[in-house]
């Protein structure tokens, strides 16, 4: 066999002879040559032969019933035994028997008496030939199987261009099978290009030709082949042609895909906004895209094979020191490496770019580093923008002074330094008095101009190591670090107040300002930056309370007030969050009948000791901290639900709710009132909103629009504390006002103060002329009642009738 050792199968020998002695002698003599079986008749021999399938049959000619020639014919006619070697044995010497022996398929003839040694030699030779024949047959089958398995078309052609052999048994290569191809001309089988090459080789006697040929009509998806043509020579003459074809379709396709991918990558790398540079494993440049050319100043051709450091000159943007190119580290350490912070690239033309990104190694199939690639981009504009954004985040847009954030940072730093040096730090908070009025009067553009002028004037007063910051609309702060003598603070504060009192000229028009100044000192009163800022703020408000245009230090008294303020603020917040805001109701009565016709809702706050806190103690703080809206909403909701409950019990009690200036200017306030009326189910005519004169005059157009929207809802508008404001009375005609409430200070003093009496008379007369309802507050005595009735005042409220009371107590009055 071609691919194995010789077959060690034991030979099979069949001896056929009707003479028992001869049969016994022969089987005994041949026993060591293989497996031997003896038969005494021809009929028996046929049955044994078909099952035993012997390699050699020793067949006696003369046998009864069926002679040896007949047995031989039957054996040769059966495919199972046709290849068995038949050796005839006979006692006849006539030539006719020898002739008949070979004619009937025998291969040899042994004469009796049998020479056993000669017989053994003949049988051994025939067995060897049989084994060689089997090996040749097996080898032929192996070669055929091998050729059939090879993914290559193998063929042999005569010099007349006829196919003599091929291995295409499955029509893989051509439209005809290999068997059909045998004997056909190459011109009829092969593509034109391939046939012409084979024909030219024969014509020109070229020993060999190799070429790539496309298949016009591809068979089995074979589109391209590599053909090798080899002429075969014998004694100098061509005797045939070996043609082999190898399928290179996948190679062609892969090359095409690789070319397309390479082009796509080239276009992509040349189109992206990042610079890309590739190097070999020694950091010599092999590729640069156009962005890299622009940033380095080198063309790809100029940079080719140059070391990366010769083309990319990286330095630290701040120190100017040379930086290691990240691609060198990537190659050395076989990892991705980010570019150093603050990297800048100096181009060939000395232009400087801030750059950032990273480099990575390129590895081959075995994981070895074969090169590197660095991707980077110009971040010069981003860095500049970041610097600008950082500046904007820490500075005031209008004055370009440090803002609250930067001031806080500097105060914290100054406190740390002062602690280590055992020195003091001062924070001076400056607030422009009545700036809102000035801003609203002159307009915001002129107001901004005043803020800029104030900033410049303050800058002229301070040293370079001080920090001047604008921390609010009209608030400035000065940080004084490392104070050795506290007396300097008084000097600076006095200079601020005096300098601000000098007129500011805008469009040749002088404007005089005053400021309130609060001062906090570390570590005397404040131990943290937070303390310094809150304490300076508290001191500044103390200066305002003392009459403005002055400065005030933070003190123990302010500490107590500050903590009390914090406590009340916390109480307001928790009470709102937990629905603990209480509403008291003070009845309004018809003065003539003293019948209850309405109530005024008054907010109350209860502290942790269950003690009532009056509005005068927490309403201003609620307005200042922005909690007034939530507080007012809670009161309005409770009041509407209470009035609806009374209505359901048969009592039409109009409830009056006080509205603060900040609530009144809230754009969503009208919607909230409408939603509250809808949710509670209270008819709008049973709700009255009380607004002070000062609130009405905050912004005339906004006020007018808000009042008109509220009037559409059908509720009543009352002006509370009428007569205490400074506005024109013309708004009574322009605004949809229904009720005037005479301030209790006038009612309380009208019997002992003629001016107060005149004011009450005037308001009453004015209300009647405008068809407005009058409510007198602060009715505490019988004389007040009688006089108000004489003046024609319809309604009143005060301690003479009832004090403010919880809802439960008022419910009892209605029974």
Average pLDDT along the chain: 86
Task: Look at residues 236, 252, 268 and tell me which one is the last residue of a structural domain.
Answer: 252
- Structural domain including 101 reads 12-145
Indicate if the pLDDT at residue 79 is higher than 90: no
DSSP string, 346-406: E-TTS-EEEEEEEEEEEE-TTS-EEEEEEEEEE-HHHHHHHHHHHHHHHB-TTT--B-HHH
The pLDDT tens digits of the residues spanning 104-147 come to 888 888 888 888 888 888 888 888 888 877 777 777 766 666 66
Whether residue 652 is found in the same domain as residue 799: yes
What does each C-alpha distance from 532 to 403, 472, 492, 538 come to in angstroms? 16, 16, 18, 10
CATH number at residue 290: 3.30.450.20
CATH of the domain at 527: 3.30.70.270
Same domain, yes or no: 129 and 174: no
The dihedral built from the CA positions of residue 440, 445, 450 and 455, taken in this order, carries a sign that is: positive
Omega of the bond prior to 113 within 30 degrees of 0, cis?
Answer: yes
Rounded Cα distance, 602 and 585, in Å: 6
In a domain? residue 745: yes
Measure CA of the first residue to CA of the last residue in the chain; give whole Å.
126
* Of residues 471 and 7, more confidently modeled: 471
**Whether residue 594 is found in the same domain as residue 726:** yes
Buried b (16+ CB within 10 A) or exposed e, 508-535: eeeeebebbbbbbbbbebbeebebbbbb
Overall average pLDDT of the 180-203 stretch? 89
57-66, 253-262, 381-390: least confidently modelled range = 381-390
Q: Are 406 and 394 a contacting pair, CB within 8 Å?
A: yes
Q: 56-70, 373-387, 737-751 — which is least confidently predicted?
A: 373-387
Domain boundary, last residue among 145, 177, 200: 145
CATH code for position 766: 3.20.20.450
Question: Do residues 545 and 598 lie in contact, with contact meaning Cβ atoms separated by under 8 Å?
Answer: no
In a domain, 45, yes or no: yes
Q: Are residues 22 and 155 in the same domain?
A: no
pLDDT digits (tens, 9 = 90+) for 577-624: 888 889 999 999 999 898 999 999 999 998 888 888 888 888 888 887
Q: Which residues contact 564 (CB under 8 A, 6 or more apart)?
A: none
Residue 724 has pLDDT above 80, yes or no: no
What secondary structure letter does DSSP report for 267? H
For residue 646, give both structure tokens: 């009374």
CA atoms of 773 and 765, how far apart (whole Å):
11
CA–CA separation, 564 and 89 (whole Å): 141
Is there a single domain that holds both residue 312 and residue 248? no
pLDDT in tens, 655-688: 999 988 788 778 888 999 999 999 999 999 999 9
Segment (H or E) for 617: helix 615-625
Quote the CA–CA distance of 528 and 519 in Å, as a whole number.
14
For the residues of 122-187, what is the DSSP string, one character each? HHHHHHHHHHHHHHHHHHHHHHHHHHHHSSEEEEEE-TT-BEEEE--TTSSSSSS-HHHHTT-BHH
Does 647 lie in the same domain as 763? yes
Question: Residue 258 domain-assigned?
Answer: no
Instruction: Give the domain CATH number at 137.
Output: 3.40.50.2300
pLDDT of residue 681: 94
Residues 360 and 416 in one domain: no
- Has residue 670 been placed in a domain? yes
Of 228-242, 252-266, 663-677, the least confident? 252-266
- Check the CA dihedral 358-364-368-372 and report its sign: negative
Per DSSP bridges, beta strands 773-776 and 739-742 are: parallel
> Would residue 383 count as lying in a domain?
no
Q: Which residues contact 133 (CB under 8 A, 6 or more apart)?
A: none
**Contact criterion met (CB below 8 Å) for 59 and 71:** yes
Domain count, the chain: 5
* Domain boundary, last residue among 92, 113, 145: 145
Q: Is there a single domain that holds both residue 168 and residue 82?
A: no
Residue 135: CB partners within 8 Å, gap ≥ 6? Answer: 1, 6, 7
DSSP SS3 for 227: strand
Residues 241 and 283 in one domain: no
Q: Is the per-residue pLDDT at 63 higher than 70?
A: yes
Q: Is 687 part of a structural domain of the chain? A: yes
Q: How confident is the model over 532-559, as a mean pLDDT? A: 84
In whole angstroms, what is the distance from residue 123 CA to residue 331 CA? 77
Domain annotation covers residue 281 = yes
Strand ranges for 607-744 from DSSP E? 612-613, 654-659, 687-692, 716-722, 739-742
As a whole number, mean pLDDT of residues 711-727 equals: 79
What does the alpha-carbon distance between residue 722 and residue 586 come to, in Å, rounded to a whole number?
A: 19
Per-residue pLDDT tens for 732-761? 777 888 998 888 888 888 888 888 888 889
**767 and 637 part of one domain:** yes
pTM of the model: 0.44
Contacts of 130 (CB under 8 A, 6+ apart): 11, 55, 56, 85
Q: Sheet containing 424-432: which strands, arranged edge to edge?
A: 467-470, 475-483, 424-432, 515-522, 551-553
The β-bridge relationship of strands 612-613 and 275-280 is: unpaired
Residue 671 lies in a domain: yes
Is 575 in the same domain as 720?
yes
Q: Are residues 52 and 172 in the same domain?
A: no
CA distance 594 to 725: 29
């Amino acid at each position: 066999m071609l691919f194995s050792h010789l077959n060690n199968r034991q030979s099979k020998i069949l001896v056929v002879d009707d003479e028992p002695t001869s049969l016994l002698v022969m089987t005994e003599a041949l026993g060591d040559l293989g497996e031997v079986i003896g038969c005494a008749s021809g009929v028996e021999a046929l049955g044994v032969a078909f099952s035993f399938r012997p390699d050699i049959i020793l067949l006696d000619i003369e046998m009864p019933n069926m002679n040896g020639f007949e047995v031989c014919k039957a054996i040769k006619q059966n495919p199972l035994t046709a290849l068995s070697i038949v050796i005839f044995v006979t006692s006849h010497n006539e030539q006719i028997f020898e002739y008949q022996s070979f004619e009937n398929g025998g291969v040899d003839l042994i004469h009796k008496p049998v020479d056993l040694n000669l017989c053994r030699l003949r049988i051994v030779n025939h067995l060897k030939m049989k084994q060689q024949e089997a090996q040749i047959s097996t080898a032929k089958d192996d070669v055929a199987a091998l050729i059939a398995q090879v993914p290559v078309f193998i063929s042999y052609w005569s010099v007349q261009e006829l196919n003599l052999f091929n291995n295409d048994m499955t029509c893989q290569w051509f439209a005809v099978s290999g068997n059909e191809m045998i004997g056909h001309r190459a011109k009829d089988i092969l593509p034109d290009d391939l046939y012409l090459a084979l024909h030219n080789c024969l014509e020109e006697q070229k020993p060999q030709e190799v070429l790539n040929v496309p298949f016009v009509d591809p068979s089995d998806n074979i589109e391209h082949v590599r053909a090798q043509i080899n002429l075969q020579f014998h004694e100098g003459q061509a005797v045939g042609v070996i043609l082999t074809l190898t399928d290179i379709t996948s190679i062609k396709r892969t090359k095409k895909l690789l070319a397309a991918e390479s082009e796509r990558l080239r276009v992509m790398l040349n189109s992206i906004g990042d610079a890309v540079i590739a190097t070999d494993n020694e950091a010599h440049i092999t590729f640069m895209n156009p962005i890299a050319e622009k940033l380095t100043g080198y063309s790809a051709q100029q940079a080719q094979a140059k070391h990366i450091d010769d083309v990319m000159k990286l330095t630290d943007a701040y120190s100017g020191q040379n930086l290691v190119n990240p691609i060198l580290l990537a190659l050395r350490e076989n990892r991705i490496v980010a570019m150093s912070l603050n990297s800048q690239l100096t181009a060939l033309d000395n232009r400087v770019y801030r750059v950032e990104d990273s480099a990575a190694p390129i590895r081959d199939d075995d994981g070895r580093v074969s090169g590197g690639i660095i991707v980077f981009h110009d971040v010069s504009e981003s860095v500049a923008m970041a610097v600008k954004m950082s500046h904007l985040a820490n500075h005031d847009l209008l004055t370009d002074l440090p803002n609250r954030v930067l001031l806080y940072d500097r105060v914290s730093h100054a406190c740390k330094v002062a602690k280590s040096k055992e020195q003091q730090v001062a924070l001076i908070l400056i607030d422009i008095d009545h700036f809102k009025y000035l801003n609203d009067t002159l307009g915001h553009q002129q107001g901004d101009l005043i803020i800029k002028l104030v900033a410049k004037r303050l800058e002229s007063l301070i040293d370079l190591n001080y920090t001047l910051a604008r921390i609010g609309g009209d608030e400035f702060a000065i940080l004084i670090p490392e104070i050795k003598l506290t007396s300097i603070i008084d000097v600076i504060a006095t200079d601020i107040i005096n300098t601000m009192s000098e007129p500011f000229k805008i469009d040749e028009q002088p404007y005089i300002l005053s400021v309130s100044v609060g001062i906090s000192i570390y570590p005397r009163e404040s131990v943290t930056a937070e303390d310094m800022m809150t304490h300076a703020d508290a001191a500044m408000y103390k200066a305002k309370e003392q009459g403005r245009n002055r400065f005030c230090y933070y003190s123990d008294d302010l500490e107590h007030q500050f903590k009390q303020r914090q406590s009340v603020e916390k109480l307001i917040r928790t009470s709102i969050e937990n629905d603990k805001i209480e509403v008291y109701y003070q009845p309004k009565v018809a003065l003539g009948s003293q019948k209850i016709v309405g109530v005024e809702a008054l907010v109350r706050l209860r502290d942790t000791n269950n003690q009532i806190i009056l509005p005068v103690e927490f309403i201003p703080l609620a307005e200042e901290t922005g909690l007034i809206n939530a507080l007012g909403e809670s009161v309005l909701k409770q009041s509407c639900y209470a009035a609806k409950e009374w209505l359901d019990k048969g009592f039409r009690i109009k409830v009056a709710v006080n509205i603060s200036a900040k609530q009144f200017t809230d754009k969503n306030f009208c919607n909230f009132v409408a939603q509250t009326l809808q949710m509670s189910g209270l008819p709008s005519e049973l709700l009255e909103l009380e607004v002070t004169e000062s609130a009405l005059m905050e912004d005339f157009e906004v006020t007018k629009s808000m009042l008109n929207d509220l009037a559409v809802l059908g509720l009543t508008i009352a002006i509370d504390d009428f007569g205490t404001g400074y506005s024109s009375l013309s708004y009574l005609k322009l605004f949809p006002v229904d009720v005037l409430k005479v301030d209790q200070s006038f009612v309380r003093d009208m019997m002992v103060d003629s001016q107060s009496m005149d004011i009450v008379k005037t308001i009453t007369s004015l209300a009647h002329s405008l068809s407005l309802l009058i409510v007198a507050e602060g009715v505490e005595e019988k004389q007040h009642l009688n006089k108000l009735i004489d003046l024609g005042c319809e309604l009143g409220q005060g301690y003479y009738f009832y004090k403010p009371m919880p809802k439960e107590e008022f419910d009892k009055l209605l029974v």
